[in-house]
């Protein structure tokens, strides 16, 4: 009699255990999306939208979260010659065939005026010429102007001009390359990628390198991979430009019944929901629910565009101008072709949380396993 009693007791414990919540590491879909106050009344402090073919056109039109786009100047080819600027240093050679030259010592045929610096006003001083404006001229134009100015005193003069770029004709690669430094611009068509190459190239430790260009009071940004893909984006560097190459600081999170719960840096310029699922390793085997992948996102208040629902409407309110609330949960069903295709288009934004909900079957399997173990134990009593 004792053994059957024990079996009944153990069976009762099994049933009690099955009635309770089985141990699990994530919430069910209905638990995560439940929103109620302490009194039990429902409260809509977030909106829920399914990501599918019908909703994608409106959802993708909503403003992006994270830092605002900084833009990027496209390439505009310039004349190949250098433009003389304040701070440049000129080396001027003057040839004179006259026997009694005012510039050249007896027995010589050339006068070399070395290290003639262009002043802040863009002018230089030359003997028998005086102050001469050269800023904004190409070296060839400056040579011709100097030669014309010398005609009155040195009629047979022939002039040659070479330019050593000063600060106004240099650009600085601040960081992110093997050899950062200040680089002279040999002409007006030095591209940004060629300047990065002059610095030894981007260091390999940077994940998804991002290029920041500071030009005067303007700041621009772009991914290095986009510069390689589109030659029109390989902009021409200007004197005074500062270039910083850094790792991409954008990231998204994964939690719940995902195969990997972690913070994930963006590995490329854009990451889709399908990319994100691949990055996190998919759903945890026997636990995750591929029918209920949730993407939690918080929009700034300035992006919210409240729209009144139509009479009798009970579903989510769509507007291409923006989300109806700051907090939005997007749901994706990866067991259907529409969900897979849509996930391959839907863009993950910086700071998004990819949450894989618990599968009801996973919890049921846990209870069944425990139940079987207890039956086995009872049979041994």
- Look at strands 353-358 and 251-256 and give their pairing: parallel
**pLDDT tops 70 at residue 373:** no
Where does the pLDDT of residue 261 fall: very low under 50, low under 70, confident under 90, or very high at 90 and above? very high
Pick the CATH number of 170-246 from 3.10.560.10, 1.10.600.10, 3.30.1300.10, 3.90.940.20: 3.10.560.10
**The CATH homologous superfamily of the domain defined by 25-66+251-359:** Outer membrane lipoprotein wza domain like (3.10.560.10)
Q: What is the pLDDT of residues 187-223, one digit of tens each?
A: 888 999 999 999 999 999 998 999 999 998 899 999 9
Instruction: Average the pLDDT over each of 9-18, 19-28, 184-193, 241-250 and give the range with the smallest value.
Output: 9-18
For residues 288 and 365, give the distance between their C-alpha atoms in angstroms, rounded to a whole number.
Answer: 12
- Confidence band of 318 (pLDDT split at 50, 70, 90): confident
Flag the least confident range among 51-55, 71-75, 190-194. Answer: 71-75
Binned at pLDDT 50, 70 and 90, residue 38 comes out as low
Q: Give the confidence band of 344 by pLDDT, cuts at 50, 70, 90.
A: very high
* pLDDT above 50: residue 19: no
Q: How confident is the model at residue 291 (pLDDT cuts 50, 70, 90)?
A: very high
Q: How many CB atoms lie within 10 A of CB 314?
A: 5
Asked whether the domain spanning 170-246 has the same topology as the one spanning 25-66+251-359, the reply is yes
> Confidence class of residue 3 from pLDDT cuts 50, 70 and 90?
low
Least confident of 157-166, 189-198, 276-285: 157-166
Q: How does the average pLDDT of the chain come out, rounded?
A: 83
Cα separation values, 205 from 153, 178, 209, 248, Å: 62, 11, 9, 12
pTM as predicted? 0.67
The pLDDT of residue 330 is 96
With a cut of 90, say whether residue 21 has pLDDT above it.
no
Write the CATH number of the domain with boundaries 89-164.
3.30.1950.10
> Does pLDDT of 99 surpass 50?
yes
Task: Provide the residue ranges of all domains of the chain, joining segments of one domain with +.
Answer: 25-66+251-359, 89-164, 170-246
Taking only Cα atoms into account, the Rg of the chain, rounded to an integer number of angstroms, comes to 36
Give the separation between CA 354 and CA 359, rounded to whole angstroms.
16
CB 82 within 8 A of CB 138: yes
> Is pLDDT of 9 > 90?
no
Q: How confident is the model at residue 360 (pLDDT cuts 50, 70, 90)?
A: confident
| Residue 341 confidence (pLDDT) above 90 | yes
Per-residue pLDDT, 262? 94
Checking if the pLDDT of 264 tops 90, the result is yes
For residue 360, give the nearest of 27, 39, 32 by alpha carbon. 27
pLDDT class of 62 with cuts at 50, 70, 90: very high
Residues 334-352: what's their mean pLDDT?
A: 96
């Amino acid at each position: 009699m004792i053994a059957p009693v024990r079996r009944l007791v153990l069976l009762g414990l099994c049933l009690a255990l099955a009635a309770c919540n089985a141990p699990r590491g994530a919430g069910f879909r209905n638990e995560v999306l439940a929103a109620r106050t302490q009194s039990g009344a429902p409260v809509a402090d977030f909106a829920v939208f399914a990501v599918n073919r019908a909703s994608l056109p409106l959802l993708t039109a909503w403003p992006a979260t994270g830092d605002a786009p900084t833009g990027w100047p496209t390439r505009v080819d310039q004349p190949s010659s250098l433009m003389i600027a304040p701070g440049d240093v000129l080396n001027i050679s003057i040839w004179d065939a006259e026997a009694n030259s005012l510039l050249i010592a007896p027995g010589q045929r050339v006068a070399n005026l070395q290290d003639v610096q262009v002043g802040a006003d863009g002018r230089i001083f030359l003997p028998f010429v005086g102050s001469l404006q050269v800023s904004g001229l190409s070296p060839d134009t400056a040579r011709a102007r100097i030669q014309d100015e010398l005609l009155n005193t040195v009629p047979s003069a022939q002039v040659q001009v070479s330019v050593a770029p000063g600060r106004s004709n240099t650009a600085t690669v601040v960081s992110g390359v093997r050899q950062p430094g200040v680089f002279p611009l040999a002409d007006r068509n030095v591209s940004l990628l060629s300047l990065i190459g002059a610095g030894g190239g981007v260091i390999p430790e940077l994940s998804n390198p991002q290029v920041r260009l500071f030009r005067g009071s303007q700041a621009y940004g772009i991914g290095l991979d986009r510069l390689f893909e589109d030659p029109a984006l390989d902009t021409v560097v200007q004197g005074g430009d500062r270039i910083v190459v850094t790792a991409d600081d954008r990231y998204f999170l994964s939690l719940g019944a995902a195969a990997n719960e972690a913070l994930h840096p963006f590995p490329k310029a854009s990451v889709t929901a399908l990319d994100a699922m691949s990055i996190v390793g998919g759903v945890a085997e026997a636990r995750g629910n591929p029918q209920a992948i949730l993407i939690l996102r918080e929009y700034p208040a300035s992006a919210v565009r409240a729209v009144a629902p139509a009479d009798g409407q009970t579903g989510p309110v769509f507007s291409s101008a923006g989300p109806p609330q700051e907090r939005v949960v997007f749901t994706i069903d990866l067991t259907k072709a529409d969900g897979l295709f849509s996930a391959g288009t839907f863009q993950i934004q910086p700071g998004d949380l990819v949450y894989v909900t618990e599968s009801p079957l996973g919890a049921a399997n846990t209870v069944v396993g425990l139940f079987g173990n207890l039956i086995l134990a009872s049979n041994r009593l």
